[in-house]
Structure 1
Amino acid sequence: MMWSNFFLQEEDRRRAAVGRRRAQEQRKPGLTAAREGAVKLVLVLAALGATLAVLAVGTEFWVELNTYKANGSAVCDAAHLGLWKMCAKRLWQADVPPARATCGPAELPGEANCTYFKFFTTGQNAHIFHRTTKKEVNLAAAVIAVLSLAVMALGCLCVIMVLSKGAEFLLRVGAVCFGLSGLLLFASVEVFRHSVGALLQAVGPEPPPAPRLTYEYSWSLGCGVAAGLILLLAAGCFLLLTLPARPWGSLCLKRGDPAT
């Protein structure tokens, strides 16, 4: 009899422990399977935007500067630059499309000379085709782009915490981070555009005279614009996921309710 009571008490304690453990698991914050799948899907979209943003900031094909073809010369000069680096290229005119009045595109094979901008190290302006950059504007574009990447990384960390720890309140923080990152990318692109305009107008007075130039924005800047749009879209999707399941349900009359 004593042993039967002992085993019964042990069984009751085990069942009580299992019940307490299940109650604690039910009280833990977490995501439902459908909600977790939606968060992961939007995170993939944000990861695509992050990849394009890193590709844009890390490459130097934001704008191409092209000189006009020189009569009687076998070569012509072109350049392409980004936030950090400039590449001057000497191309063979035989490789340039005949219908094109200017040298380029810069992707053509030729002699390339790539250098990082000196205003990041020594504070000196760069000189391109007898024109001088305005380092303050170029530095502003680069700093804004780096801030965009930092805020974007913080948003990714917030969403990862939501998926791993169930901290749903961080979903809204992540949405704000992704939206701010997209806006900062657009700001960086706009500041860079102003830097290109300032470069074309900053003609040095010393001889020889500066050659005529044309410019065209290239694929790196396109990646930056696409990344900004995708990050803003991801931010909007994350904000929608933070809303209640039926945000307008309380404002709508149920079917069959009498009108008041």
Structure 2
Amino acid sequence: MMWSNFFLQEENRRRGAAARRRARGQPKAQMTPEREGKIKLALLLTSVGATLAVLAVGTEFWVELNTYRDNGSAVCDAAHLGLWKMCTKRLWQADVPAGRDTCGPAELPGEANCTYFKFFTTGENAHIFQRTTKKEVNQAAAVIAVLGLAVMALGCLCIIMVLSKGAEFLLRVGAVCFGLSGLLVLVSLEVFRHSVRALMQRVSPEPPVAPALTYEYSWSLGCGVGAGLILMLGGGCFLLLALPPGPWSPLCPKWGQRAP
């Protein structure tokens, strides 16, 4: 009799513990369709920024380097480069738009030679039109950009978990990730701008003489600027959705309510 009472009490204790675990595992409140729609809309906004960020990092039209057309030849040289790769092009003078003093734009058809930067593998600087890159600055820009993409991917994972599993506590984490990724993309752009200025100043003293150059930023860098701003805006939207509604209710009364 004593053993039967012992086993009965032990069974009741296990059932009670299992019930408490199930109660703790259940969400306190289900996500409303309106709130889920707002989260999906913010995720759509950040997906546009994510697409622009991947497009900017993966392409090599960040900056164009152009020589001057007045060289006494039927061809002129131009180049465009990004974080990973550089392309030099030999263009026909007849294809260059009239009224343009420099060679380009780089999208014109011509003889192209594209190579990846060696400072990611062998640690060698690249030489462009008798000018030398500053590999430390270029590497810093690339690392910051890749880190921004990694943080952005983590933010996407957090928001997907919010929508699929109802883990709303990850909403703030996703907001911080998207805001940080946008900031990192913008920082990468600024570091790249410094690398371009360093490239223009590091002229090789060895012959042949370095040609006069001009540079202009291209559409890949514009995509990066747009991506950084959109990601930060999306992070702000997620942060507003993650805030408790209590402090904002006096400032934003519901429709249909009238002041007494």
TM-score range, shorter chain: 0.7 to 0.9
- 1:136 matched to 2:140: no
Distance 1:179 1:78, change over 3 A: same
Letter in 2 for 1:191: V
How does the TM-score come out when normalised to structure 1?
0.86
Cα distance change, pair 60–43 in 1 and its aligned pair in 2 (3 A): same
Residue 126 of structure 1 and its aligned partner are, at CA, apart by 0.2
User: Which residue is 1:44 aligned to?
Assistant: 44
1:165 aligned onto 2:173: no
For 1:58-95, what per-residue CA distance to the aligned partner results, in whole angstroms no more than 9, with x for missing partners? 00000000000134310000000000000000000000
Distance 1:131 1:103 in 2: 18
Show structure 1 runs of 4+ deviating over 6 A. Answer: 251-254
- Give the AA of the match of 2:27: K
Secondary structure of the residue that 1:182 maps to in structure 2? helix
> Is 1:255–2:251 an aligned residue pair?
no
1:1-260 equivalence runs, <5 A: 27-29=26-28, 30-249=30-249, 255-256=259-260
* Distance of 2:69 and 2:252 partners within structure 1: 69
Once the two structures are TM-superposed, the CA of residue 252 in structure 1 deviates from its matched residue by 9.7
Q: Residue 113 of structure 2: SS of its match in structure 1?
A: strand
Deviation at 1:28, TM superposition (A): 2.7
Partner Cα distance (1:131, 1:186) in 2: 26
Structure 2: where are the runs of 5+ without partners? 1-18
Structure 1 residues 86 and 252: alpha-carbon distance in aligned structure 2, compared to 1, 3 A threshold: closer
Q: 1:255/1:216 Cα in 2 relative to 1: closer, same or farther (>3 Å)?
A: same
What percentage of aligned pairs have identical amino acids?
78
CA RMSD of aligned residues (A): 2.1
Structure 1: gaps of 5 or more residues? 1-19
State the Cα distance separating 1:234 from its structure 2 match: 0.3
Under a length normalisation based on structure 2, what TM-score does the superposition of the two structures give?
0.86
Tell me how many residue pairs correspond in the alignment. Answer: 235
3-state DSSP of counterpart to 2:142? helix
Name the amino acid aligned to 1:233: L
User: Per-residue CA shift, 1:76-131, capped at 9, x if unaligned?
Assistant: 00000000000000000000012000000000000000000000110000000000
Return the alpha-carbon distance in structure 1 between the equivalents of residues 67 and 220 of structure 2: 21
